[in-house]
Amino acid sequence: MSRHRTRMIRAALAAVAAVGLAVGALPMSGAGASVRHQSSGAKCPLGALKRAKGPVEITMWHSMPRANEATLQKLTDKFNASQDKVQVTLLNTITYEDTLQKYVAGLSTGDLPDLVQIGDGDTQQMIDTQSVLPAQACVKADHYDLSGHLKRVIDYYTIQKTLWPMPFNVSGPVLYYDKTKFKSAGLDPEQPPATLDAITADSKQIVDRGVAPAGFGLKTEPGNLEQWLAKAGELYVNQGNGRKGRATTSLFDNRTGREVYAWMKDIVDRGLAVTNPDRGGSIYDNLLGIGNGTHVMTIETSASLGTITDVLGSGAYPDIDLGVGPMPGPSGNGGVNVDGAALWIVKKSAPAKQAAAWEFAKFLNTAESQATWAAGTGYVPIVTAAADSPAVQELWARIPGYKVAYDQLLSGPSNLATAGPIIGDYAGVQTAVRESWQRMLSEGTSPRAAAKAGAEAADAAMQEYNARVGG
C-alpha cells in the first residue's frame, strides 16, 4: 500500500523534474548540443569583475538550517566588509531538494541566483542543466591552487578532470555508540566494531548480557550502501562510477552488495538490530535510541554530532558516554566518500557576477573561513590548513568525534570507487534501494532477490533519466 503511494509520489516528482529538465535543456538541444562535459569552451570572466565600476551585487541560495546559517551569515558579512568589489546577499531556500526545485523552475524564467549550494547527490543533474560555469574554468584562469584541499573532496566533485562546483560543506558517516553500555556488556569501549560482522557480534553480546534490548540502530539510509561499496573499494555504478561517461547500470548487486543485504537481513531477523526509516518523523530514532537505551550503536552523519553532544550533555542522559568511531563496513581496500553540498557558479548571470561568485566561493574555501565554518557547524574542514587552526583543534579536543570524520576522509586510496558515484537520477536510485530493503526487512524477500530487484529498479530509474536528458 505505502509502496504504491511512494511510487505514485515518485512518478509525480519525476514528471515535475522532467518538465523542468525539458524546459531547461530545450534551448541546448535546439543548438544541437548534447555534449556533457563542455567545460573546455567555458571561460571564467575574471576580467569583467576587474573592469566593473562600483560593487557587483550577487545572490547566493543556500539550505543551511538556523545554527549553520548564522555561521554562514557571519562569513558573508566578513567577506562583504573585507572588500568593496563584491556584495553578497544570502537567500535561504530551505532544503537541498527545494533549492534544486526552485533552481530548475528558475531556468525557464531566469529567476536564478549567481551562486547556489546544491546537495552532493544532485551533481549530475546540475551539470545536465547546462547552466553552470565549472569551477575548473576559474581554477585555471585564476591559477588557483587546489593542493591544499582534501583529495577525497576534490575527487568527488571532479568529473573527467573538471571540477564542477567549489566544495563547501562536507560531512561523512560515522559510528555512534555508548561507551558505558559497551563496558557493561564486557566490550572494550575504545574498540568499536570496524566491520559489519563485528557489529553483529557486539550486538549479540549486548543482547545476551541484557544490557539493551538490541545492539544496533539500523537506519535504512540508501547512502550507506554507497559508502559500504566505496569502503570495499568497489564501484556503485558503471562507467567508473559515472565518472568516465554517463552511468547506465548499477553495480551493487555484486558480492559486496549482497553481503550487505544479507548482513542487514540477518541482524534484523535475529532481533539484534532495530530499524528506522530515513525519511519522515522517525529519522532521528536511531540516535535517540542510544539515549533511551533501546540500542547501543548506530551509523549516522557526522553533521549530527554537535546536536547529539548538546542533547546528551544537557543532563537528561547522565549515564551515556558517547563514543564515535569510523564507519564500519565490509572488508576491502577503500574509503568513505563525501556527503554534504557544494557551490555552483551560475553561467546565466552577467560575466562580472560569475567572477564575483567565484571570488566568494574562493573566500569560503580559505583556511580561515573553513576553520570558522568547521568550528561553527561541525562540518569537516576541507582544507588541511584549516584543520591545523586553533579553532578546529579546540573543537576536536572538546568533541573528538569530529576528528574521526576528518581522518576517515584521509584514509584509504584515491580512486574512482572512493570518489563516489555520480548518478543523474540519484533520488530514483536511492528510492530503488530503499524499497528493496523495505521488501527484504518487512515482507521476507530473500537478500539475494532483494539486491537483484533493487539493482533492476535502480537501472530502470537511471535509464529513464538518461533517455529524458538525451545522454
Partner 1 sequence: MTLDAPAVAGTPRAISSTALETRMAGHRGRTWGHVGRYALLSVLAFVVLFPLYITVVNSLLTPEQIASRPPTFFPTNPDWSTYSRAWTNGHFGQYMLNSFVVTTIIVAGQLVTAILAGYAFAFLDFPFKRTLFVAFLATLMVPFEVTIIQNLTTVTNLGLYNTYAGLAVPFLATGFGAFLMRQAFLGVPQDLMDAASLDGYGHWRFMVRVAVPLARPAVAALGVFAFLTAWNQYLWPLLVTKDDEFRTVQIGLKQLRNTSIDQVNVTFAGVVIAVIPLVVLLLVFQKQLVRGLTAGAVKG
Size of the site for partner 1 (CB under 8 A): 40
Q: Are 112 and 103 within 8 A, CB to CB? A: yes
C-alpha cell read off for 101: 526545485
Calpha distance 391→90 (Å, rounded) = 25
Calpha distance 122→126 (Å, rounded) = 6
Q: Which residue intervals of 110-249 are DSSP H helices?
A: 123-128, 135-141, 151-157, 179-184, 196-208, 223-231, 238-242
In the bound state with partner 1, the residue whose beta carbon lies nearer, of 95 and 411, is 95
Report the DSSP beta bridge partners of residue 91.
61
Part of the chain binding partner 1 (CB under 8 A), chosen from 87-95, 158-166, 171-179, 424-432: 87-95
Does position 95 bind partner 1 by CB under 8 A?
A: yes
Report the DSSP beta bridge partners of residue 325.
175
Q: Identify the residue among 11, 12, 33, 410 touching partner 1 (CB under 8 A).
A: 12
What CA–CA distances, in Å, run from 241 to 150, 156, 164, 423?
Answer: 20, 10, 16, 8
Q: Per-residue string for binding with partner 1, 250-269, x by CB under 8 A? A: --------------------
Q: Identify the residue among 6, 34, 73, 101 touching partner 1 (CB under 8 A).
A: 101
* CA geometry: angle 290, 296, 301, nearest 5 deg: 65
Calpha distance 35→40 (Å, rounded) = 11
Q: Per-residue string for binding with partner 1, 111-150, x by CB under 8 A? A: x---------------------------------------
Does position 188 bind partner 1 by CB under 8 A?
A: no
Q: Are 327 and 336 within 8 A, CB to CB? A: yes
In the bound state with partner 1, the residue whose beta carbon lies nearer, of 144 and 284, is 284
Q: Identify the residue among 142, 284, 321, 350 touching partner 1 (CB under 8 A).
A: 284
Does position 35 bind partner 1 by CB under 8 A?
A: no
Buried b (16+ CB within 10 A) or exposed e, 273-288: bbbbbbeeeeebbbbb
Q: Identify the residue among 102, 140, 258, 452 touching partner 1 (CB under 8 A).
A: 102
Which residues 6+ apart lie within 8 Å of 174 measured at CB? 299, 300, 301, 302, 305, 324, 325, 326, 327, 401, 404, 405, 408
Instruction: Compute the residue count for the chain.
Output: 471
Q: Per-residue string for binding with partner 1, 314-353, x by CB under 8 A? A: xxxx------------------------------------
In the bound state with partner 1, the residue whose beta carbon lies nearer, of 70 and 449, is 70
Segment 57 to 86, residues that bind partner 1, using CB under 8 A? 59, 63, 65-67
In the bound state with partner 1, the residue whose beta carbon lies nearer, of 98 and 188, is 98
Residue keyed to cell 538490530 = 273
Q: Identify the residue among 57, 77, 98, 388 touching partner 1 (CB under 8 A).
A: 98
Q: State the nearest-atom distance from the C-beta of 418 to partner 1, in Å.
A: 28
Part of the chain binding partner 1 (CB under 8 A), chosen from 99-107, 163-171, 429-437, 440-448: 99-107
Other Cβ atoms closer than 10 A to 5: 9
Q: Identify the residue among 108, 184, 239, 466 touching partner 1 (CB under 8 A).
A: 108
Q: Identify the residue among 91, 198, 397, 410 touching partner 1 (CB under 8 A).
A: 91
Report the DSSP beta bridge partners of residue 117.
343
119 by Cβ neighbours in 10 Å (0-12 / 13-18 / 19+) ranks as: buried
In the bound state with partner 1, the residue whose beta carbon lies nearer, of 105 and 262, is 105
Calpha distance 56→54 (Å, rounded) = 7
Part of the chain binding partner 1 (CB under 8 A), chosen from 17-25, 170-178, 190-198, 349-357: 17-25
In the bound state with partner 1, the residue whose beta carbon lies nearer, of 93 and 241, is 93
Calpha distance 293→296 (Å, rounded) = 7
Part of the chain binding partner 1 (CB under 8 A), chosen from 285-293, 354-362, 382-390, 420-428: 285-293
Question: Is residue 158 classed as helix, strand or coil in its secondary structure?
Answer: strand
Segment 289 to 308, residues that bind partner 1, using CB under 8 A? 291-292, 294, 304, 306-307
Contact positions vs partner 1 (CB under 8 A): 12, 15-16, 19-20, 23, 59, 63, 65-67, 91-95, 98, 101-102, 105-106, 108-111, 284, 287-288, 291-292, 294, 304, 306-307, 310-311, 314-317
